[in-house]
Amino acid sequence: MGMFDAESIGYDYDRAKSAGMGPTGDGTKENKGHWGSVAPTTEEERKKYNLPRESYILVKGKKHESWDKAIQGEVARGFKVIKKGNRYFSVPSNPRSNRLLMQDAEIGE
């Protein structure tokens, strides 16, 4: 597959698959074939972007049809979405964990 564009309507299937993700749901409801919104960050990403250990990378593009649901889900579980480089990441909303992330663009607040 080609390079994923975090600003697109796309989905980073390569990254999701490498994290062991796949479609979920029971095949009869709204989530039939739904793929998750976030995957764990790598150690390399955490070091490069100074992310906390408990952080995730969004695998849906910002223009994806369920982007808003992904953001709502992250906020509901106590996380916030920030942009670092050319990707979006979900990090705990706890200010102590995110002291160094304060100047980044925050989404969902």
Beta bridge partners of 92: 79
pLDDT at 100 over 50: no
Instruction: Tell me the pLDDT tens digit for each residue of 61-87.
Output: 999 999 999 999 999 999 999 999 999
What is the rounded distance in angstroms from the CA atom of residue 55 to the CA atom of residue 104? 15
What is the spatial distance between Cα 31 and Cα 70, in angstroms, rounded to a whole number?
13
> Over the stretch 5-64, which tens digit does the pLDDT of each residue have?
999 999 999 999 999 998 875 555 665 677 899 999 999 999 999 999 999 999 999 999
Give the Cα separation of 65 and 98 in Å (integer). Answer: 28
Three-class DSSP category at 2:
coil
